[in-house]
Amino acid sequence: MNDDLGTPVPLAAPPRRVVSLVPSLTEAVAHTAPNLLVGATDWCVEPAGLDVARVGGTRYPDLARVRAAAPDLVLANAEENRREDVEALRAAGVPVWVTYPRTLDAALDSLERLMAALGPPEPPWLRAAREAWSHPFTGVRRRAVIPVWRRPWIVLGADTFAGDLLARLGVDNVYAGAAERYPRPPLAQLRAAGADLVVLPDEPYAFTADDGPEAFPGLPHALVSGRHLTWYGPSLAEARAVLEAVL
């Protein structure tokens, strides 16, 4: 079986010990087959009260702690985790499954394949997510800039999962045609980009009512849950309703 990057994942049998380096995948495994999860990053905060070994951050996990958990599968993401860490684990004989969804459909298909590899039947939350997002948007569309960081400003660009989610909710990304997936335009350019909305998630940068909207005077803003905008997992079942209520 291959991961999202087409790399073969050598699994002779369904895994019995899983370490997740991706918060959304940690939540997915915990809701689907909690007995399999033996390790997660310090940033894996869902579900609340998760009691597994902690292996450091997503960008700089402690690989010794990962190996000490004796996993027969590690879950990683092409953007959240460093390639050198994935390669180091593979070189140590640890199978690693790397995800890389850039659209909602790709995320749902990726999750279906991964959950099947873990052994259980398709989880109810995955069926609920497909149903929740099956209805097309029919309202008035808007154009938005979507910062994910400031100092410097970084925005969603082309070919991103979060951008696809917003487009399905009638919010078109002004920078969807950019050459980069995460452009760094100066603030003056952001203000002049022709948007009628600025969407400010609370992760990875924690935008708040007092930190972010003031940079875009006169432009309506929406403060949204980063978990519902950028995570692919059980949160997708409720993400549409949560985001629509704010947008």
Kindly report the average pLDDT of the chain as a whole number.
Answer: 96
Inside any domain, residue 7: no
Residue 202 within any structural domain of the chain: yes
Smallest Cα–Cα separation from 241: which of 230, 217, 225?
225
* 45 and 118 inside one domain: yes
Q: Give the chain's domain count.
A: 2
The answer on 152 and 116 residing in a single domain is no
Task: Give residue-wise pLDDT tens across range 50-59.
Answer: 999 999 999 9
> Tens digits of per-residue pLDDT, 101-128?
999 999 999 999 999 999 878 899 999 9
Res. 156 pLDDT band, cuts 50 70 90 = very high
pLDDT higher than 80, residue 62: yes
What is the value of pTM for the model shown? Answer: 0.93
Look at residues 122, 155, 172 and tell me which one is the last residue of a structural domain: 122
Q: What is the pLDDT of residue 120?
A: 76
Q: Are residues 169 and 216 in the same domain?
A: yes
Distances in whole angstroms, Cα of residue 180 to Cα of each of 80, 99, 124, 156: 17, 20, 36, 9
Q: Please check whether residue 188 lies inside any domain of the structure.
A: yes
195 lies in which domain range?
Answer: 142-246
Same domain, 64 and 24: yes
CATH code for the domain in which residue 96 is found? 3.40.50.1980
